[in-house]
Structure 1
């Protein structure tokens, strides 16, 4: 059997890279590097809000250990990963945005008084004398840059930090008397570790454990419904940067008209702004010209843009803190609406303004916003003679004919 055939698939990539294996190389590559920065990074503004977020997160679960993974890298193809984006519950409780830090886990450790202490477990950078430094294309400093140290992350976030290798011991501490919950579907390795500890400690498993974990996930989502001052600032920033992206779209419109994939000219202009001013896109941009705008989630963006068309753009910038905006606008390619285009545009604008007015009324429920918009849509469709019943009949739960032109909801939560 050849040497290559006896290798595992995971190790065969070394045949391509021809990585040096000699002890002389290993001894030499770890020497002669300049010193690392000695000053710790400044404490980030978000750190001032993390204690309160941890208190809210743990309030319904006194005495329980809560596990919130950031998630691992996700493979795009072969040895190429997608850019890392942490799970939102983790980002909210840790304050870590941007592309920091894959494989990190936040544990809310129970205190005797019913509160929780947040502990951040992650993989710090390796020594320059280690094989990981030069040989690991996913985590090695030589390949992807230096990961922060435990001390650096603690200085930034104000949280206690520990090495990821100690995570299992912490999860297993007093297991049996201390209940475990984990946010599922984020990190399979962490989830398996939690389930292993549960089994060894005879803690609830199966359907019972699933329900307990889902209750944690639901609560961590709901505490983000009310934004603190930092979050409001970041959402406003996301809107401002997104607005600038739409202004860039208007500037490239003439070039889009002359391109065989004009929709992608629009998409690209917005994406460039998103990467320059933020972390990137909050979601895939919809740049739909002409009939493509009738497809609700048109993200192929491979069509032409013609003079006289309307272009619908649904796009948002995600800033470095991972808060995103979400703006939809319909633009006339040549800067002028036809009479019919203007009527439809005005109807949608009127529905939007009615929804916003209702949203600002005390006691407004989420569905009331949608209902306010639907009243306008039903009325306009009736005025145009294309609604087969009266607006009142259509708005009744037994009707809903107006929803043919809008089967989706009016809005969703943001942030």
Structure 2
């Protein structure tokens, strides 16, 4: 290598630094000194305890009692790159949010660690002391203040101090720099005095690697370490955390009511957007955008990607491209939910006639779906099995499909395990639990979910549908291109189900009247 080439190689900028070339950060000593001086002091008064703090403490105690003498590690998760040096909007893992009470006031890379204690010495009478590890606010005399685009106050705004989070959440806090020692200390076989770890995996790759390394390094014979058994420990923690959310506490129910109310108001904005959507070559995007703007104004985010499916697109269950036209005379199925600042989300679907009036066949299909939903409501009572909600809806739909001459067999044959012909037009489940995740409690055991008993405090959806594709030659042409789903969010009380989304019209007459009140006398323009 020539001297010139060697010199160039020595001074070449490392690849991982080039991403910051655009910022042109000044680095003179004079600049550093000037940036560190003459800032007003930060607020010294600690914030009040959050309303959620006592509820979150109860959740932590419930988990603690399930895993005595074991260290539990629940990461919030890291930022995820969307494109080059820009990240997706951050959202912590739901288990972390549930156990801390943190919603949008979060910390990327934070980790909640449950450290086992002697009996009776844990938090709130539990078996552990919990500590929230995170990266606190950097001082304004540090380079991070103005130079760190992911964490610096100059770039992303003020972040909480350790003391502030401790005051708000009622949980001990520590700097993220102390996390590695907290996780790895004394890891090993409990039979010989070590501490077993359980981890919520696939949330933060760095934490996964840290725990795996600690387990491997402390195994008596690393080559014979039972990795499958260790993975099972982690899976059991994830399962238990998911099952903890099957029953909502009073604070969670309040957050669900907030999310549902915001979503219901968003459907008003959807109807207001339809006249413009009709004129746009991607009218579904107009509808999607109207709801998204409302979700960002009134909540944190969308709870999931909005489905704004017009015409035949409504027969694609998870149509989120939303690139289609919106045409008078067709239906538009909108499945949408606002995620509140607490991260709890609603999940509501309405199927609307674009011109404000259902055709005869559209009304017939809609009424069948509504009747199926009402049948599901009737059995969604404490003491009944959760899977019975789906069964009740399917019985109604199979009967209607038989009445219309669409089933190739009698309804009772279709409803049998060996039949299921009706599922050609209703292939999904009728209900799922709802909360921090739109499909909440998804890691719960079957016997507590599908085969579980409906219990006071549960929140779930009821959402039957019928989907007749344009390409479906098994049905008469009059049905093709019609997709209908009606979805409501249900709270189970001692007296039965309460429809949290009852403010949104459900019957065909109510929907038409609702839309007329928004459209005015002339209806939408085409």
Give me the TM-score of the superposition, normalised by structure 2: 0.77
Structure 1 counterpart of 2:144, from 128, 132, 136: 132
What are the within-5 Å matches in structure 2 for residues 254-269 of structure 1? 254-269=275-290
1:355 corresponds to which residue?
376
1:173 corresponds to which residue?
185
1:124-145 alpha-carbon deviations (Å, 9 max, x no partner)? 0111121111111111111111
- 3-state SS in 1 of match to 2:66: coil
CA contact (8 A) 1:26 1:131 kept: yes
Structure 2 counterpart of 1:243, from 264, 272, 296: 264
- 3-state SS in 2 of match to 1:12: helix
| Counterpart Cα distance in 1 of 2:324 and 2:418 | 39
2:94 corresponds to which residue?
88
Return the offset for 1:294.
0.8
2:75 corresponds to which residue?
69
1:110 corresponds to which residue?
116
Return the offset for 1:385.
0.6
Higher relative contact order (CA 8 A, sep 6+): 2
The alignment status of 1:220 with 2:244, answered yes or no, reads no
Return the offset for 1:173.
2.9
1:121 corresponds to which residue?
133
- 3-state SS in 2 of match to 1:59: helix
- 3-state SS in 2 of match to 1:118: strand
Return the offset for 1:13.
3.0
CA contact (8 A) 1:84 1:99 kept: no
CA contact (8 A) 2:198 2:237 kept: yes
- 3-state SS in 2 of match to 1:403: helix
Return the offset for 1:242.
0.6
1:57-80 alpha-carbon deviations (Å, 9 max, x no partner)? 122211100000000001100000
| Counterpart Cα distance in 1 of 2:143 and 2:18 | 17
**Unaligned ranges ≥5, structure 1:** none
- 3-state SS in 2 of match to 1:180: strand
Q: May I ask how many residue pairs the two structures share in their alignment?
A: 414
Q: Which runs of 4+ in 1 moved over 6 A?
A: none
Return the offset for 1:175.
2.2
Structure 2 counterpart of 1:39, from 6, 20, 45: 45
Return the offset for 1:400.
0.6
Structure 1 counterpart of 2:19, from 10, 13, 18: 13
1:330-382 alpha-carbon deviations (Å, 9 max, x no partner)? 0011110000000000000001111111112x422121111111001100000
- 3-state SS in 2 of match to 1:397: coil
| Counterpart Cα distance in 1 of 2:19 and 2:428 | 47
CA contact (8 A) 1:54 1:117 kept: no
Give me the TM-score of the superposition, normalised by structure 1: 0.97
1:193 corresponds to which residue?
210
CA separation of 1:385 and 1:14: change in aligned 2, threshold 3 A:
closer
CA contact (8 A) 1:183 1:214 kept: yes
Return the offset for 1:43.
1.3
1:88-130 alpha-carbon deviations (Å, 9 max, x no partner)? 0000001110151111100111121161222100000111121
1:22 corresponds to which residue?
28
2:509 corresponds to which residue?
none
